[in-house]
Amino acid sequence: MSASSLLDLFESGGGAEKKGTYVEVVLPLPLAKLYTYSVPFHLKEWLQKGVRVEVQLGRQGRYAGLVYSITEEKPAYQTRPIISVLDDFPVVTEEQFRLWEWMSTYYLCSMGELMAAALPAGLKLAGESKLLLAENYEAKPWMQLHQELPGDEALVIEQLQKKRELSLSDIQRMLKLKSVHKLVKSLLDKQLVQLKEELQERYKPKMEDWVALAPPYELNNPSSIKEAFDVIGSRAHKQIDTLMAFMQLGREQKEVRKKELYERAKIDSALLKKLVDKGIFSIYQKELSRLDDYDGEAEGNYALSEQQQQAYESCLQHFADKKAVLLHGVTGSGKTQVFVELMEHYIGQGQQVLYLLPEIALTAQIVGRLQKHFGDQILVYHSKFNNNERVEIWRAVQEGVPIILGARSALLLPFQSLGLILVDEEHDPSYKQQDPAPRYNARDTAVFMAHLHGANILLGSATPSLESYQNALEEKYALVQLDQRFGGLALPKIEIVDLGEQQREKRMHGIFSGHLLDALKETLANGEQAILFQNRRGYAPLYRCKSCGWTTECKDCDVSLTYHKYSNNLRCHYCGYQRSLPKSCDACGSHELEIIGFGTEKIEDELQIFLPDARLERMDWDTVRGKNGHDRLINRFADGQIDVLIGTQMVTKGLDFDNVGLVAVLSADQMLQFPDFRANERAFQLMTQVAGRAGRKKKQGRVLIQAYQAEHEILREVLQHNFQQFQQRELAERRSFKYPPFQRLIKIQFKHKKRDQLLMAAEWGAKFLQSRLGDRVLGPAEPSISRVRTYYLMDLLIKLGRGGKSLRAAKDKIRDMQELLRQKDGLSGLRVVIDVDPY
Ligand SMILES: Nc1ncnc2c1ncn2[C@@H]1O[C@H](COP(=O)(O)OP(=O)(O)OP(=O)(O)O)[C@@H](O)[C@H]1O
Ligand SMILES: [Zn+2]
């Protein structure tokens, strides 16, 4: 403490009046409650809500916890003192705490789980955290270290030079310090060390070269430009052209990529070097998110079409009434453009915009488009960033960066002046987090969050979720529609190919109907591209014995293994288990084994036989796993280097290509048969979305859907682009069978490695809840996949009315059940997973 603050203390009559003898602290752990610590006198003045404090938790070690409240009330138990205060300013805002409270109540998770999900690892130091030297650190002699650093820091670095890694507890022991967090934070800030987990998720930033005028030349200063031309001299024509090209680009956009200058001026690096040597240009590097190497056409400042303009204006009107808006715009109607205008509007007023996308890696194209438009006003947040970068983004958001673009977890950032939230592709199931807790739906949470910040919210989709659509029908949300494609193009023409009929007429060629092969050939002959969709990766989903029907199953999960031809093995798509192909049937010993069904790999394989000259590529988790794999494929397809793109649902997500003449769904049946009350909705959305990739720019596209159930109502509705009929029929069914959006569901999953114990626990839990909530509790029942990663599973389903009261009552009972199960003997190893609004 400095002398002056001592003096202040003295003058204010000492510490006796200081408030805050105890603090409630959130720890980044799945603990049911908050912990109270006492505050030593000398730390009181540093305390405020939202700062981190270092505390000891049982024998588990030390953690950085968050001050949730400051109180005079002494808890019933003996408290420990906090060890140190880590921040000068709160790292978590008041709104964030309120959002966490809401989420923990609604989704039945703990504040600690929310803290763990929200805070970047660098803000969550714990005793077991391991420290390494920074990657570019060069070892220094002892003497030099001690000259440059305070004694303790030098010692730590010296040790690290010898030992490679140290845990925070090691350091604490070594230095005999009470608290190491301040020291570690200082080393982190100096970028001398890094936390170990960063290495595991190492993300190499990508650097790209940009070109600027070297000082003193300035684009907006004509006399300086004239000077530049003089320096070049009148005979160096190519160099003059290059400067002109640069000026053109510089007027179109804020900064100029080297690559773009090369293209525009048709020059190479040798020529640019000449201009750099003459002092006309300088080159600088900028770190780009790996997402923005999409090189589509530059997104200029398009004027909105009349329909887009109307949509934009009615959004603003509804926003003025504080209404959430559902923007239902058909595929290719230019929803993104409306978003852009709205974003401009809000950042123009100095407010922040949060743009949510379902899966950021799969929407790189949109990210690229927006980055081109907004430049460095936009920050992208996603899980591939390393810890330092995440901390940086956290701080940038706190400092008010205008636009944040991210997947669901971007919702947990510390916004200061949030004005607008956009939820793009709002129907997408990946807005729901499955594992671990918090199991939240980012779309629904965003609606609450907007309310919390007094911000506006827009949900956009070509195929709105029935939840959101019902809200619009009930006028909880305002509905704004775009029913035309941009540029007046017609929606694609869809045909259903009846596979039964094709088979009877002997027109099937393996998995392809004659119809589809003809259409593919015609498309390619026209110089157009095609997309083939099959929602299953791998070669074939079943490897089966011909004589007894035995199939190869995962040893840890209750699913059959998928055959992957490329790696020539069998794999579990639930846990990743792999095994080689069995030579014979395990059950009957027969050597005749066959593969059944097909995935993307087989489509690629067989299609090449029919289209020997076509350039085929596959896009699924197996092919995009590498860094940038997805972007590379998208770019090559956009560039026309690929004729046919074969993929899983990845090919449906918001992609925008100019030259796709044909889209085909290889097998609709599998989607329609899926045992889930959302199967129809999912199927409608997937097919409409993938169909929507056809014919977006030049002429009407064509779509073929292969199916055995050719008469299925969903197919008819997709065929007619009839969202209204789909929505009416499906909502009526949901209403009569008491499913969402008319009822709420809570799924409780019991997991145990021993089946007997699992059954006991599930039965007990069911009885407990049934005696309190009656027949709203269904089960326990074995889910269709009853064992995953060595855990046996049993499900309970609770159906509740939409009223808040019954929901709260039910949640209380569930918490009680959880607590009692925790205390029960003989049930260790039981896990209870609660999923509110499961997807
Ligand atoms: N006002 C405009 N001026 C020029 N081009 C536009 C305009 N609006 C949209 N476009 C173009 O039309 C195409 C479709 O727009 P966009 O991708 O925004 O549609 P979308 O509604 O998001 O479609 P989807 O739901 O299928 O993803 C894009 O290539 C976009 O650049
Ligand atoms: Zn498995």
Distance (Å, whole) CA 263 – CA 297: 13
End-to-end CA separation in angstroms for the chain: 53
* pLDDT at 205 > cutoff 80: no
Comma-separated ranges of CATH 3.40.50.300 domains in the chain = 306-487, 493-539+601-734
Q: How far is the CA of 580 from the centre of ligand 2 (A)?
A: 14
pLDDT (mean) for 496-506: 94
Residue 164: pLDDT band by 50, 70, 90 thresholds? Answer: confident
Q: How far is the CA of 441 from the centre of ligand 1 (A)?
A: 27
| DSSP, residue by residue, 646-682 | EESGGGGSS---S-EEEEEES-SHHHHT-SSTTHHHH
Comma-separated ranges of CATH 3.30.70.600 domains in the chain = 744-836
Q: Which long-range contacts (CB under 8 A, 24 or more apart) does 569-575 make?
A: 570/543, 571/538, 573/537, 573/538, 574/785, 574/788, 574/789, 575/788, 575/789
Q: How far is the CA of 333 from the centre of ligand 1 (A)?
A: 6
Looking at domain 3-123, its CATH superfamily turns out to be PriA, 3(prime) DNA-binding domain (3.40.1440.60)
Ligand 1 nearest atom to the CA of residue 299, by list position: 31
Ligand 1: does its nearest atom lie under 6 Å from the Cβ of 365? no
- The CB density around residue 37, as the number of other CB atoms within 10 Å, is 21
Distance (Å, whole) CA 604 – CA 525: 19
User: pLDDT tens, 428-463?
Assistant: 999 999 989 999 999 999 999 999 999 999 999 999
- The ligand with the least distance to the CA atom of 656 is 1
* pLDDT at 702 > cutoff 80: yes
> What residue type is assigned to position 9 of the chain?
L
- Are 785 and 559 within 8 A, CB to CB? yes
Residue for token digits 């995962």? 554
- The ligand with the least distance to the CA atom of 552 is 2
Detail the residues annotated as belonging to a binding site: 545, 548, 554, 557, 572, 575, 585, 588
Q: Which long-range contacts (CB under 8 A, 24 or more apart) does 413-416 make?
A: 413/118, 413/354, 413/381, 414/91, 414/92, 414/93, 414/96, 415/93, 415/95, 415/352, 415/354, 415/453, 416/93, 416/352
Give the 3-state DSSP-derived string for 58-86, with helices as H, strands as E and coil as C: CCCEEEEEEEEEEECCCCCCCCCECCEEC
Least confident of 265-279, 444-458, 538-552: 538-552
Distance (Å, whole) CA 89 – CA 83: 17
- The CB density around residue 259, as the number of other CB atoms within 10 Å, is 14
Distance (Å, whole) CA 492 – CA 657: 14
Residue 465: the pLDDT is 97
Ligand 1: does its nearest atom lie under 6 Å from the Cβ of 334? yes
- The ligand with the least distance to the CA atom of 696 is 1
Comma-separated ranges of CATH 3.40.1440.60 domains in the chain = 3-123
| Residues lying with their CB under 5 A of ligand 2, a single-atom ion | 554, 556-557, 572, 574-575, 577
Ligand 1: does its nearest atom lie under 6 Å from the Cβ of 464? no
Who's near 553: CB < 8 A, 6+ residues apart? 559, 560, 561
CATH code, residues 306-487: 3.40.50.300
User: pLDDT tens, 120-132?
Assistant: 877 776 666 778 8
User: pLDDT tens, 66-124?
Assistant: 999 998 888 888 889 998 888 888 999 999 999 999 999 999 999 999 998 998 877 77
Classified by CATH at the fold level, domain 493-539+601-734 comes out as Rossmann fold (3.40.50)
Q: How far is the CA of 578 from the centre of ligand 2 (A)?
A: 8
How do beta strands 644-647 and 777-781 pair? unpaired
CATH code, residues 744-836: 3.30.70.600
User: pLDDT tens, 609-621?
Assistant: 999 999 999 988 8
